[in-house]
């Protein structure tokens, strides 16, 4: 969102990013755009979503604007209603296949509610865009509205490898939430069979305690390090220090299967070959660029084999590293932001 809002601000739009304030929220960092946080009485569940949507509705009712942009389905209803009430334009930014997330596919009643909201709101949007080709087709067909493609890719940056700290050991890096279905348990257990490298895990989540216990049970304290939450700047630095990236995911529904994780491009831009799942988006990227190894399951043996291939086949590793260097000339925000500007230029011209 910072990239999108900054790009639109630089293009001359007056942008306000609206979110919510939690007890754990860090202070807002000053940006080119305005930022507003809403403090809610409820923090999760149906009451939270009802309260947050009502607060957004009231805010938009009195806030002057020309265009609303709803990010995912949990903000789309007030954005749609107020835009139509005021005769203004509306944009839908789908970061994921919301109705197919694991939290909903096992709760069909709640899933039907969100699906009803989507079928009511999305066709009424002036413009829709999403983060990968698979979702462009799937969401477009499902809701009868064209979706454009805006990938969530980083800005380009130059790497001076000579200034990077010398590695005492090769680093296998996982960045992201420590939640179920991310292959973290298997990656940790695979480290029993890996020599000459350490696994560093950046992030926290529902499995934070369980994963630390798993390291102790397997006596892997010298091979696995937990870094906790890192700032974007610290995470970028850590990614540059990595040898191999991990982007593991269990097929727990269509949202996971058709995902294209942000870390994919973080690894590419740091010229770090990675292990990805053999899901459609990674198959497409790897077929064009071969920036890593694709695996079809999360068995410990499969992960171990892939890690050893990258750790011990130097020619293959360097080939993938060069391919990452070439791929970041294709997948970067300098190019992607041009498409974003064109979308909002079209919308505001019609406003």
Domain limits, the chain: 2-153+332-350, 161-327
- Which pLDDT does position 334 carry in this prediction? 96
Write out the E strands in 218-314. Answer: 224-228, 244-247, 274-277, 292-295
- Which pLDDT does position 351 carry in this prediction? 61
- Which pLDDT does position 233 carry in this prediction? 87
Rounded to whole angstroms, how far apart are CA atoms 121 and 53?
A: 14
The CATH code of domain 2-153+332-350 reads 3.40.50.2000
- Which pLDDT does position 105 carry in this prediction? 87
**For 274-290, what is the mean pLDDT?**
96
**For 231-258, what is the mean pLDDT?**
93
Where is average pLDDT lowest: 84-98, 159-173, 243-257? 159-173
Rounded to whole angstroms, how far apart are CA atoms 322 and 191?
A: 26
CA dihedral sign, ordered 130, 131, 136, 141: negative
**For 251-266, what is the mean pLDDT?**
93
- Which pLDDT does position 22 carry in this prediction? 82
Which phi-psi region, left, alpha or beta, contains residue 71 (left: φ > 0; alpha: ψ -120 to 50)? beta
Rounded to whole angstroms, how far apart are CA atoms 81 and 84?
A: 5
341 has pLDDT over 90: yes
Where is average pLDDT lowest: 38-42, 213-217, 342-346? 38-42
Q: What is the pTM of this model?
A: 0.89
Is the Cβ–Cβ distance between 223 and 169 less than 8 Å?
Answer: no
Rounded to whole angstroms, how far apart are CA atoms 11 and 231?
A: 27
pLDDT digits (tens, 9 = 90+) for 316-335: 999 999 999 999 999 999 99
pLDDT digits (tens, 9 = 90+) for 144-171: 999 999 999 999 987 776 677 677 789 9
Phi, psi of 278 (to 5 degrees): -80, 50
Superfamily of domain 161-327: Glycogen Phosphorylase B; (3.40.50.2000)
- Which pLDDT does position 335 carry in this prediction? 95
102 has pLDDT over 90: no
Asked, colleague to colleague, whether 2-153+332-350 and 161-327 share their fold, the answer is yes
pLDDT digits (tens, 9 = 90+) for 180-211: 889 999 999 999 999 999 999 999 988 999 99
Mean residue pLDDT of the chain comes to 93
């Amino acid at each position: 969102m910072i990239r999108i809002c900054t790009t639109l601000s630089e293009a001359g739009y007056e942008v306000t990013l609206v979110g919510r304030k939690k007890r754990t929220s860090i202070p807002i960092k000053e940006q080119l755009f305005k930022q507003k946080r809403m403090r809610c009485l409820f923090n999760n569940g149906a009451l939270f979503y009802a309260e947050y949507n009502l607060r957004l509705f009231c805010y938009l009712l009195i806030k002057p604007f020309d265009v609303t942009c709803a990010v995912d389905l949990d903000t789309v209803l007030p954005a749609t209603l107020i835009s139509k009430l005021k005769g203004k334009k509306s944009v839908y930014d789908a970061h994921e296949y919301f109705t197919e997330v694991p939290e909903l596919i096992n709760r069909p009643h709640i899933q039907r509610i969100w699906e009803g909201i989507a079928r009511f709101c999305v066709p009424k949007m002036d413009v829709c865009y999403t983060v990968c080709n698979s979702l462009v087709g799937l969401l477009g067909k499902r809701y009868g509205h064209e979706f454009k493609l805006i990938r969530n890719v980083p800005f380009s940056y130059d790497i001076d490898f000579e200034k990077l700290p010398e590695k005492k050991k090769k680093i296998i890096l996982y960045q992201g939430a420590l939640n179920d279905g991310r292959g973290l348990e298997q990656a940790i257990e695979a480290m029993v069979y890996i020599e000459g490298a350490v696994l560093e895990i950046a992030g926290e989540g529902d499995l934070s305690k369980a994963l630390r216990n798993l390291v102790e049970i397997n006596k892997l304290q010298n091979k696995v390090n937990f870094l906790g939450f890192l700032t974007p700047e610290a995470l970028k630095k850590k990614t540059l220090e990595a040898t191999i990236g991990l982007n593991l995911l269990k097929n727990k529904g269509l949202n996971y299967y058709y995902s294209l994780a942000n870390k994919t491009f973080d690894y590419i831009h740091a010229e770090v070959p990675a292990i990805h799942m053999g899901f459609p988006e990674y198959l497409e990227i790897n077929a064009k660029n071969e920036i890593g190894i694709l695996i079809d399951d999360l068995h410990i043996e499969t992960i171990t084999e892939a890690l050893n291939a990258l750790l011990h086949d130097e020619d293959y590793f360097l080939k993938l590293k060069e391919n990452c260097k070439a791929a970041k000339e294709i997948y970067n925000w300098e190019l992607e932001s041009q498409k974003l500007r064109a979308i909002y230029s079209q919308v505001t011209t019609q406003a």
